[in-house]
Amino acid sequence: MSETQNLTLVQAVRDGLATEMELDDDVVALGQDIGANGGVFRATQGLQDEFGDQRVIDTPLAESGIIGSAIGLATGGMKPVPEIQFSGFMYPGFDQIVSHMARYRTRTRSRFSLPMVLRAPYGGGIRAPESHSDSKETFYTHEAGLKVVMPSTPYDTKGLLISAIRDPDPVVFLEPKLIYRAFREEVPTEAYEVPIGEAAVRREGSDVSVFTYGAMTRPTLEAAENLAEEGVDAEVVDLRTVSPMDREAIVESFKKTGRGVVVHEAPQSGGLAGEITALLQEEALVYQEAPIKRVTGFDVPVPLYAMEDYYLPNAARVEDGIREAVEF
């Protein structure tokens, strides 16, 4: 049995990076303040001391330059892992992401690949100012050529990050900063992979299927446990990867329960809840016993400070959504 460490999610990010950098000299990290300062959330703390400033590179504040430089490194055979301080700061580099990062394999008719991982903390709940709390993962799921990973546990974070670094194609790795330090979990010290594109059933159930990912997994599980006391047996499926989604896991869970709820903190319109609902209509309509309920953020900018509590789905809102699906 391998040795383990008791890590928070953000510590698992650091451990995943350090593990792969130790194993593969082609892995480099770059971003604003990630070196001497260890990053805004300290996800890269100590890595520059360990691997030097040629592999852990402090960059200017220029997201398009950070992402563009990483693309250039990847075309040259390196495996860059650029960090953007907040996912809401990725937009100045959007052209690099959609015009080059996502299309390099297609543009070269698969003669070349682009092994890079674009990391960023996403989501609300930490009382941050404007543009620091966005959950806009669907921007990137629309782009063929990008994989989009959104872990919810320390164990999965390390394993998925290692899988992403080893993937020959670009991965957008969105980290739920709300739970960066919310809890700890035993994480193997050795390298291991969690497969990209595979969901995890966090709680078995027979009455209703609840699909979620990232930071919303915890309030969803809390809601499921609360409702179990009322006799409602909810299955909780953590997608872990939102592109490609584990369509088979989603459909199979729904066929078992016939009822569905989707929980995410992103705005409802154009969100992944709609995509999951459409998938279930196409693949499992004859099993459906009630309308699929969406429990999401609202179609407004994430409000500032304490008003976030009214925007983000919490256990109470999830419970209400599950009840609506079950009692229909």
Q: Are residues 93 and 227 in the same domain?
A: no
Q: Are residues 13 and 157 in the same domain?
A: yes
d(CA 265, CA 302): 10
In-domain check, residue 47? yes
CA angle 33, 38, 24 (to 5 degrees): 100
Q: Are 38 and 83 in contact (CB under 8 A)?
A: no
Q: Are residues 124 and 148 in the same domain?
A: yes
Per-residue pLDDT tens for 92-133?
Answer: 999 999 999 999 999 999 999 999 999 999 999 998 888 899
Q: Are residues 152 and 265 in the same domain?
A: no
DSSP state of 230: T
State how beta strands 200-203 and 56-58 pair.
unpaired
pLDDT for position 305: 81
Last residue of a domain, one of 188, 218, 239: 188
In-domain check, residue 195? no
Which residues are catalytic, by number?
A: 132
Q: Are residues 62 and 15 in the same domain?
A: yes
Q: Are residues 78 and 155 in the same domain?
A: yes
Q: Are residues 70 and 178 in the same domain?
A: yes
Q: Are residues 291 and 174 in the same domain?
A: no
Q: Are residues 85 and 224 in the same domain?
A: no
Q: Are residues 167 and 315 in the same domain?
A: no
The crossing angle, in degrees rounded to 10, of helices 315-327 and 217-228 is: 60
Q: Are residues 25 and 143 in the same domain?
A: yes
- Domain CATH for 301: 3.40.50.920
Give the structural domain span for 217: 200-327
Tally of domains within the chain: 2
Q: Are 89 and 131 in contact (CB under 8 A)?
A: yes
Q: Are 187 and 5 in contact (CB under 8 A)?
A: yes
CA angle 283, 273, 224 (to 5 degrees): 95
Last residue of a domain, one of 143, 160, 188: 188
In-domain check, residue 194? no
In-domain check, residue 31? yes
In-domain check, residue 207? yes
- Domain CATH for 8: 3.40.50.970
For the chain, which ranges sit under pLDDT 70? 1
Closest C-alpha among 34, 28, 48 to residue 165: 28
Last residue of a domain, one of 188, 208, 232: 188
d(CA 241, CA 246): 8
In-domain check, residue 193? no
DSSP state of 214: G
Token code pair at residue 262: 């989707």
pLDDT for position 1: 59
In-domain check, residue 60? yes
Token code pair at residue 278: 């459409």
Q: Are residues 137 and 276 in the same domain?
A: no
Q: Mind giving me the DSSP string for 61-116?
A: S-HHHHHHHHHHHHHTT-EEEEE-SSGGG-GGGHHHIIIIITTHHHHTTTS-----
In-domain check, residue 267? yes
CA dihedral (76, 27, 133, 221) positive or negative: positive
The CA dihedral of 205, 283, 172, 76, to the nearest 10 degrees, is 130
